[in-house]
Structure 1
Amino acid sequence: MLLLIPGPVQTRPETRAAMAQDIAPWDNDFRPTYASIRERVRVLAGGVEGMHATLPLQGCGHFMMEAAIRTFVPAGGKLLIPQNGAYADRAVRLATEAGRVVVALPGPDTRPVTAEEIAAALAADPAISHVAMIHNETGSGIVNDPEVIGPAVRAAGRRLILDSVSAFGALPVNLADHPEIDALIFTSGKCLEGLPGIGFAVARIDSVTAAAGNAGSWAFDLSDVYAHALRAGWGSFRFTPPVQSLAAFSVALDLHEREGGQPARLARYRENARAMYDGVRALGMAPYLDWAHQGPVIVTVHQPADPAFELQPFVDALKRRGVLISNFWNTQAPTFRVGCIGAVTPEDIRGAVAAIDGALRELGVTRREASGNDAPRQKVSARDDD
């Protein structure tokens, strides 16, 4: 089965094989592996030794986002969230339910937020201390570039929490160039092609120590993760970790390095995205985004106007052809989405395009263009990625 979702992704056999062992996470033989992962991740993020630290938590990307918001934004504090996609919507809920005050910056899910929009919003409300931004919106596929937004945040004297859950390892970011970033967050099961189960924050040490006592939660307190590492060592977890996922992640990092690191991974994913984008257009379908705004992680496609098209039967027909995609959509108009990340090649993507054609033929879909009146319909909540 070819898994084409934006996470968990298709992985290499070597990565999966590393899961097939029993490990004691606090055993002295495993501690160096975990400590090494933390250091390798810091380096990959462009973090500076003595200035940045890797602070993992068990769980998914939403856990990391909540932990970063709770840790760095004091209870009752204000943060700005550019709201141009489904995962920004989720960040709004996480922050609100954590007792933080959200200033939303609404925008379409078909283009990135601009530096001018961020600067104007920050100038209008001096009480905002942080911006929390989704790097890659896996609802639609747009990219909010920290190289564009970071300088605007820095110029305003504010701080940035960058949710790079579905971008890190492929899209570039260098923390040494971004002193405004308090935390860069991501997970094991996306562009680094590990197995799911572990999340990471690469955070400024001075911001972490200054944030002690903010979280209002022991489990989601990144300052406590840092304090524990100082006390018990960098190879020690506070609570029982998904240790097999960590073992697999170490292998995934090896494979990432062997491929050529972030630039090579990005180049492959861009080729994948181009093959899917051009492929569905050749089938008479309409991608959701203009190519100028199309990121490398996921290609989202308008659902065909033909009444014979229904998403779940289409997903089932694709699965019978050996291709598995998400069975929901969370854009502002009805779409289906195809992941372009994971251990997948452009040749795999071209095979998936042929499978899409076959599935549409099986369902009797002849009108493949988007409806001229493609009004938003009820979304289906995302279940398989975070």
Structure 2
Amino acid sequence: MLLLIPGPVQTRPEVRAAMAQDIAPWDVDFQRVYARIRERVLVIAGGTPGEHATLPLQGAGHFVTEATIRTFVAPGAKVLVPMNGAYAQRMARLAREAGRVVVELKLTDTRGATAADIMPALAADPDIGTVAMVFHETGSGIVNDAEGIGAALRGAGRRMILDAVSAFGALPFSLAAHPECDALVFTSGKCLEGMPGIGFAVARIDRTEACAGQAGSWSLDLSDVLAHAKRAGWGSIRFTPPVQAIAAFDVALDLYDAEGGQAARLARYRANTDALYDGIIGLGLRPYLAREHQGPVIVTVHQPADPRFDLMSFVEALKRRGVLISNFYNTAAPTMRIGAIGAITPDDMRRAVDAIGATLNEVLTKAA
């Protein structure tokens, strides 16, 4: 089965094989693996040892995103969220339900946010201390300008939290170059092509320690994750971790390095996206985004206007041809979400396009 969703992604056999073992989280050998992963992630994030730390947390990306908001935004404080996609909406909800005051900046979901969008809102409200932003929005496929927005925030003395769940490991961003960024967050099952089950915040140590006590949750307090590591060692984990997913992630990082790291991973994903985007147009379908706004992770496609088309029926029929895409969409207009990341190649994407074309013909003919 060719899995074309924006995460959890299709993985290599070596990654899956690493999970076929029983592991004690306190075992010395495993603790070495866990400590090594933290160091390797820090390098990918462009962090500085002693200045930044990798702070893992069990669960999905929403868990570590909420933990980051709780840790770095004080209760009752204002946080601005650029609202240009479904995952920005989720970030805003996480912040609001944690008791933070969310300022929503309404933007279109057909292009990425820039500093020109953000800064007027900050100038109008000096009480906004932090911008929390999704780097790559998999609702539509746009990429927000984290580099430019971060630089503008630094100049204005504001802070940033970057949700890089669908970007980390592919899109470049260096924490060392962005001291305004309190933390960037990501998960194991996206662009680094590991298994799902663990989230990571790569955070400034000084800010994490300065924000101790304001999370309002023991489980979701990144300052406590840091304090535990300093007390018990970087190979030690609070609570029971997804040990098999961590073992698999170590192998996924080996494969990432062997491929050539961030630049090589991004190049392959861009080639996947180009093959998919061009193929979709060749089928007579219409991508949701203009090419200049198309990110390298997912291609969102307008559903056929034909009233006989039904998304769920189409997804099930396509699955019978060996290709699985999302059976839901996150845009106002009816669309189809087709992922371009994971252990896949442009040839896989061309094969998927052929299957999509044949399946469309099948389901529309049957519905006639």
Same-fold status (TM-score > 0.5): yes
Q: Say yes or no: does 1:292 pair with 2:312.
A: no
Deviations 1:69-118 (A, max 9, x none): 00000000100000000000001100000000000001111011121121
After superposition, residues 361-372 of structure 1 pair within 5 angstroms as 361-364=361-364
Give the unaligned 5+ runs of structure 1. 367-386
Identical aligned residues as a percent: 71
After superposition, residues 114-125 of structure 1 pair within 5 angstroms as 114-125=114-125
Amino acid at match of 1:39: E
Equivalent residue number for residue 173 of structure 1: 173
Distance in 2, matches of 1:131 and 1:327, equals 31
Distance in 1, matches of 2:30 and 2:65, equals 27
Equivalent residue number for residue 36 of structure 2: 36
Equivalent residue number for residue 189 of structure 1: 189
Q: Say yes or no: does 1:243 pair with 2:216.
A: no
Equivalent residue number for residue 49 of structure 1: 49
DSSP-derived class of the 2:82 partner: strand
After superposition, residues 299-378 of structure 1 pair within 5 angstroms as 299-364=299-364
Equivalent residue number for residue 144 of structure 2: 144
Q: Say yes or no: does 1:128 pair with 2:121.
A: no
**1:365–1:135 distance in 2 versus 1, CA, 3 Å:** farther
Structure 1 vs Structure 2 CA RMSD = 0.9
- Mapped contact 2:273–2:340 kept (Cα < 8 A): yes
Using the TM superposition, give the Cα deviation of residue 27 of structure 1 relative to its aligned residue in structure 2, in angstroms: 0.8
Equivalent residue number for residue 70 of structure 2: 70
DSSP-derived class of the 1:184 partner: strand
Give the unaligned 5+ runs of structure 2. none
Aligned length: 366
Using the TM superposition, give the Cα deviation of residue 365 of structure 1 relative to its aligned residue in structure 2, in angstroms: 6.3
Q: Say yes or no: does 1:13 pair with 2:13.
A: yes
Q: TM-score, normalised by structure 2?
A: 0.99
Amino acid at match of 1:171: L
Equivalent residue number for residue 88 of structure 1: 88
Distance in 2, matches of 1:363 and 1:75, equals 51
Equivalent residue number for residue 98 of structure 1: 98
Distance in 1, matches of 2:365 and 2:114, equals 38
Amino acid at match of 2:154: R
Q: TM-score, normalised by structure 1?
A: 0.94
- Mapped contact 1:109–1:332 kept (Cα < 8 A): no
Deviations 1:332-382 (A, max 9, x none): 21100100000000000000000000110001269xxxxxxxxxxxxxxxx
- Mapped contact 2:10–2:193 kept (Cα < 8 A): yes
Amino acid at match of 1:98: A
Using the TM superposition, give the Cα deviation of residue 145 of structure 1 relative to its aligned residue in structure 2, in angstroms: 2.0
Query: Which structure dedicates a bigger proportion of its chain to helix?
Result: 2
Amino acid at match of 2:183: A
Amino acid at match of 1:183: A
